[in-house]
Amino acid sequence: MRAIMRGLTDAEFERLYGTEDQCLAAWVKVRQAAGMSCPRCGNPKSYVYDRRVGCTRCDMRWSITSGSVMADTKLPLTIWFRAMHLMSSTKQCISAVELGRRLGVSYPTAWYLHKRLRHAMTQESDRCQLGAPAEGGWTPIVEADDVYLGGERNEGSGTAGKTRVIAAAERWPNGRMGAVVMRVVNSFSNQAAAAFRDSHIVPGAVVHTDGTKAFGVFGEAGRTHVATVTGGKRPERERGGPFFNVNTLISNLSTALKATYKVFSPKHLPNYLGAFCWTTNHRRNMPGMIGALCIAAASASRLTRRTVYATGSIG
């Protein structure tokens, strides 16, 4: 287990990605594997020379970072790869301020870099589905729960001012946690729960919840819903017990957010959740985190400053 969970050390990172040429070679390999069709004629065949890509049909040329979250970047690739290392090598989050300090760049640069990598992580996390049969012939159970986050400045009581989140985690037969998903919702309604179900729970899955009324829809459309009413009591904290994994997930998220952000805005939360779930889902291959994040960055949609400012999603 210790060998599985051990991440990439700083010394090993420098050995593998310490130079611009090493980072470029790793990035080119990922981009070629993902495919780089010509933006002009759609030809899937291309060639790479240095930092440029050329079409074998119309001879159009474009940057190796075009069409990805790295598009139009003026930063060296070594900065990007160090940021990937810092953002993926720990269970805790890292703020843009701390990222800028560690990389030696200004806060606006660190913020934009931080935003784009979280965007790539979130887009991959949004495609994650739970409850699919495994190769060994077994099917994991999906645990789901409702979560309220934030609202520290709320002067009222109850759930007012808090952000509502649906959290789900797989439970393997040995009790181990599998893949996880979290999604911000406007309310715990049948409509919101059904949208979460269709996006993240495969048909045929068995979903366990604590009996939240809206979660009854998890038993529809080819899924099976098992409600365990706890009566407001906290379930026993035993591995393999009801809701152990999803409660552990929520606890880890709360610790990570509180350790990194003094106060977080609801409009930034989807990206924080996406990045946290991405890191959790790749935790069993920590030495391969940078390669996995490269793949996510290469396949994610482009994110420009104009888009970020226009949507008011600065964070």
Do 35 and 67 fall within a single domain?
Answer: yes
Tell me whether residue 121 is in a domain.
Answer: yes
Tell me whether residue 216 is in a domain.
Answer: yes
Residue 194 C-alpha from the chain's centroid: 21
Helix (H, G, I), strand (E, B) or coil at 149: strand
For residue 234, what is the domain's CATH number?
A: 3.30.420.10
Give residue 169's identity as a one-letter amino acid code: A
Do 70 and 109 fall within a single domain?
Answer: yes
Q: What one-character DSSP code corresponds to residue 134? A: P
Helix (H, G, I), strand (E, B) or coil at 142: strand
CB 84 within 8 A of CB 293: yes
Do 181 and 60 fall within a single domain?
Answer: no
Query: Cα separations (Å) of 284 from 5, 100, 287?
Result: 6, 27, 9
Do 145 and 272 fall within a single domain?
Answer: yes
Do 159 and 71 fall within a single domain?
Answer: no
What pLDDT does 93 receive? 79
Reported as type and span, the H/E element at residue 12 is: helix 10-17
Encoded tokens for 181: 């998903």
What's the CA gap between 268 and 65, in Å, rounded?
A: 25
What pLDDT does 216 receive? 94
Into how many domains does the chain fold? 2
Do 241 and 297 fall within a single domain?
Answer: no
Tell me whether residue 134 is in a domain.
Answer: no
Residue 215 C-alpha from the chain's centroid: 23
Tell me whether residue 273 is in a domain.
Answer: yes
What pLDDT does 311 receive? 53
Full residue range of the structural domain in which residue 272 is found? 141-281
Do 148 and 271 fall within a single domain?
Answer: yes
pTM of the model as a whole: 0.89
Do 275 and 296 fall within a single domain?
Answer: no
Tell me whether residue 84 is in a domain.
Answer: yes
Do 11 and 70 fall within a single domain?
Answer: yes
Tell me whether residue 110 is in a domain.
Answer: yes
pLDDT digits (tens), the chain, 315 positions: 444 446 788 899 999 999 999 999 999 999 999 888 998 999 999 999 989 999 999 989 999 999 899 988 999 999 999 999 999 987 777 889 999 999 999 999 999 999 999 999 999 999 999 999 988 889 999 999 999 987 655 555 556 678 999 999 999 998 899 999 999 999 999 999 999 999 999 999 999 998 889 999 999 999 999 998 765 556 566 666 778 999 999 999 988 888 777 666 777 789 999 999 999 999 888 889 999 999 999 999 887 777 666 554 444
What pLDDT does 239 receive? 66
CB 8 within 8 A of CB 287: yes
Tell me whether residue 306 is in a domain.
Answer: yes
Please give the sequence-ordered ranges of beta strands (E in DSSP) within the chain, or none if there are none. 46-49, 52-55, 61-63, 141-149, 163-171, 177-185, 206-209, 224-227
Do 297 and 269 fall within a single domain?
Answer: no
What pLDDT does 90 receive? 77
Do 170 and 270 fall within a single domain?
Answer: yes
Q: Give start and end residues of each alpha helix (H) in 37-187.
A: 77-88, 96-103, 107-125
Encoded tokens for 298: 């290469």
Do 60 and 117 fall within a single domain?
Answer: yes
Tell me whether residue 243 is in a domain.
Answer: yes
Encoded tokens for 143: 């645990």
